[in-house]
Amino acid sequence: MPVITRRQWGARRPRSVTKVTRTRGVKVHYVGQRVNPNLQTDHELCLDLMRDIQGWHMDGNGWVDFAYSYGVCPHGDILEGRGPGVLVAANGSGLNEDHYAVLGMLGSTGLAEPSDEMLIGILDAIELLRQRGGAGREIKGHRDGYSTDCPGDALYGWVRRGCPRPGGPPPDPDAWPGRLLKYPPVMRGDDVRRWQTAAKALGYHLDADGAYGPDSRTVCRHIQRAANLDDDGIVGALTWAVTVTPPAK
Instruction: For 154-182, write each residue's pLDDT tens digit.
Output: 999 999 888 998 987 776 778 888 789 99
Residue 182 lies in a domain: no
Residue 170 lies in a domain: no
CATH code of 231's domain: 1.10.101.10
Print the domain residue range for 231: 187-244
For 59-70, the pLDDT digits (tens) are 999 999 999 999
Same domain, 42 and 115: yes
pTM, two decimals, is 0.71
111 and 78 in contact (C-beta within 8 Å)?
Answer: no
CATH code of 40's domain: 3.40.80.10
Residue 126 lies in a domain: yes
DSSP string, the chain: --EE-HHHHTPPPPS---B-S-EEEEEEEEEES-B-GGGGT-HHHHHHHHHHHHHIIIIIS--SS-SSSEEE-TT--EEESS-TTB--SSS-TTTTTTEEEEEEEEESSBS-S--HHHHHHHHHHHHHHHHHH-EEEEEEETTTTSSS-TTHHHHHHHHHTT-PPTTSPPP-TTS--SS-B-SSS-EESHHHHHHHHHHHHTT-----SSEE-HHHHHHHHHHHHHTT----S-B-HHHHHHHHSPPP-
Domain count of the fold of the chain: 2
Question: Quick one: pLDDT band at residue 2, thresholds 50, 70, 90?
Answer: confident
For 6-21, the pLDDT digits (tens) are 999 999 999 999 999 9
